[in-house]
Structure 1
Amino acid sequence: MVRKWGPLAAICLGSFMLILDTTVVTVALPEMARGLGASLASLQWVVNSYTLVLAVLALSAGAIGDLAGQRRVFVGSVTVFAVASLGCALAPNAGVLIGARAVQGVGGAAMMVAAMSLLGAHYEGKDRGSALGIWTAVLGGAGATGPFLGGVLTQWAGWQAIFFLNLPLSAATLLLTSKYLVEAPKRPSGTRIDLGGMVAFGASSGALVYGLIEADDRLPMFILATAALVVFVMVERRVRHPMLDLALFRRASFVTVLIVVVASSSVFACLIYASIWLQSVQRLSPAAAGLALIPLAATSFVTSLVIGKRLPAVSPGIILGLGALLAAAGCALEWAMLDSTWLSLLPGLIVTGAGMGIAGPAGSTAILSAVPRDRAGMASGAMATFRQLGQTLGVAVLGLVYASTADLGDVFLVTAGLSLVAAVLSVLTRNSAGARSRTRGSSAAAGR
């Protein structure tokens, strides 16, 4: 039994650590500002430098892992992450902290993509559904408990403790990896890394996010982002071994997963502004603010475990649409019930957590099932990229909403709209795929 689930333990521990660091800094930002003399813009980049690098490099990491071996990449990424975490904890100023956070993103991107591919390599059938359910629950729990854990550590041990924590977690991950993980299938040895695609995609994503955050440079950055995206598409269509095979976007299930992932990631972006509201308006301590967000984490964790065990019997498309719909309903409920007390968040957090817990395992299963096995790293990278881009862009876009209205309800309302669009598109995409399948079946029958 230990041998069977040992790989899952190693993957989940590493994944917990990297997702935790996307939200753990949320409630620590005020203490960081005081300790480092940082401005508001610097604080935004403490959050976004990590998630942006995660998004930009996830596709590249997937391609590298397919070529070099996912286990090897996983080990290297955990090591890089640990060293960068130490740099964050010892940072003497905001600039060093932002730089170390970016290096964390390098390790985190490779770790995330390798984790999904290694899960696919170690588990099949019902076991894969269970493993993905547990893994997704861990991811959801890590992201949602990050504010609470960050608040507790910041309040009692200082903000540096949130980064020192990664050192023992990294050591334990490497120990489990050495005992239980085996190498995943590699792509043909003659393939090459798509450097042109990496540069073009990084330029497009970076310019887009920078343009959303820095108001003075929006138009030039948006033009640069568009131009770089066009170059990326041209490169991917011409190179022999692209980092992202554009033909994957012809697969309905692949596109559906990415749409829902972006929408669900914007929900995590809401937690940043909910935490700010809890501390600045409700005057809660960092630990109390984090505790107020726990219902989302608990509901997401439990729901992921339940759904993961039942995935083989239900279409992932149905579950994805249901998850997005519940997330939309939860955010709408938070908008409608928000008042002068933090308890008004509770019902919406529970419903939203259920939606995220439902969509997560289905998305992981669908993305691995939608592509050939030797493209698992590429598909995993695409999913990780869209997840982090969704969160990074969500922070930027929702930040514009919050800054202009100073109303947390408006943040929830915008997020509800995004989730509802994802739910509708999920259903439409599934129906379109079903219609094509029936047409092919009818044509085949007529041919006979």
Structure 2
Amino acid sequence: MPKILIVGGGYAGFYTARKLEKWLRRGEAEVTMVDPLPYMTYQPFLPEVAAGSIEPRHAVVPHRRHLKTTTVVTAKVTAIDHATKTATIQPEVGDSWQVDYDIVVVTAGAVSRTFPIPGVADEAIGMKTIEEAVEVRDRILTNFDKAANLPAGPERDRLLTFVVVGGGFAGIEAFGEMRGLASSLLPLYPSLKFEDTHFHLIEAMGRIMPEVSLETSKWVIKDLAQRGAQIHLETQLKSAVGGVVELSTGESFESDTIVWTAGVMANPVLRGTDLPTDERGRMRVQADLRVINDDGVVEGAWGAGDVCAVPDLTGGGVGGFCVPNAQHAVRQAKLMAKNVVASLRGEDTKDYFHKNQGAVAGLGLYDGVFQSGKIAIKGFPAWLIHRGYHGMAMPMFERKARVFGNWITNFFWGRDTISLEASEEPRRAFEEFASRPK
């Protein structure tokens, strides 16, 4: 049987494997998917995980539970030699090995893109993985516990100052949810007041959320400002050394929580391949999602999602390419699975064409914004649209049920405000009291 190797198990990889399982005939091909994580993360839910509205395990989809005939390998692909059609796989424990394939499907996604700003690598945290979202939630909750025991002063201000860098959708949603969580915590801490909490959003451009109209983005700024947030437009982060945030405007303050959401870049896994990439490190593909180089189609190679430069045939994409988001990744994966099956059967492939249906963002509990063309919906109705859309877009029925179960439970009893930061050092309590030889 032809061997199909899927590199990456995020949106595009998971959906490609799912649809190949559906459309391949028995014995028509053998599918293997390799990813360092044993699950797919539904990234639109990361802000709600950070706010305690969704249990972290419910925002991910376990590969082995929901892929029935695909061989799942939890490891990294460190090299792809398409000339010989081999890939090198490195597990977390044990020696690496090579696998042969006939068709490679690269869906390795994207990682946080950072700049060489002093202190960012040491102090900041991203909002790209479920683990990062959990850390942000635990950091906020733990900082409130610490601050409640301190008198007013620099140390308390540092603990209660939260910074988000990046004013795109990811940054705004994280910022709004973090602000909402902090506000909901205040009644539990009588020694702290609303004025003691400080939220700063730093955006280098002159506006936020380029996916929506300028008027809508201004409404979001006003809405966040009314909730006690400070938006720094046309401002760059110059340094974050030691948690001291220095801005290009000359303003400076200390923060214990700096969240970085200022863009993504193609997964560096492509650096270990002989597959063609563009100047931004994205794999070059044509509209039917076949990999191409200067001489034309690269046989036996396909790609989709954030790791690829997929042409946007609607003309609405930045630079002529689809923007890196889940809306495109899922649809590209489904089409790519069909095209791979079609190519195996000698049938024609179809080009990817998807016109943006709109944008919806949650800004915290009961607050959101929705934009589709010239239609803009704000506040509570947009929040309902946000939850409805993403609740239904969550893969697998049992995952949907768990997420909706979280929301229903929270409606009656409020969000869970327990910090599990101690879980990062689970042996600390045991070690403290463990008997040792004299």
TM-score bracket, shorter-length normalisation: under 0.3
**Higher relative contact order by CA 8 Å / sep ≥ 6: 1 or 2?**
1
Which has more helix, going by share of residues? 1
Report the TM-score, using the length of structure 2 for normalisation: 0.23
Report the TM-score, using the length of structure 1 for normalisation: 0.22
Which has more strand, going by share of residues? 2
Max Rg structure: 2
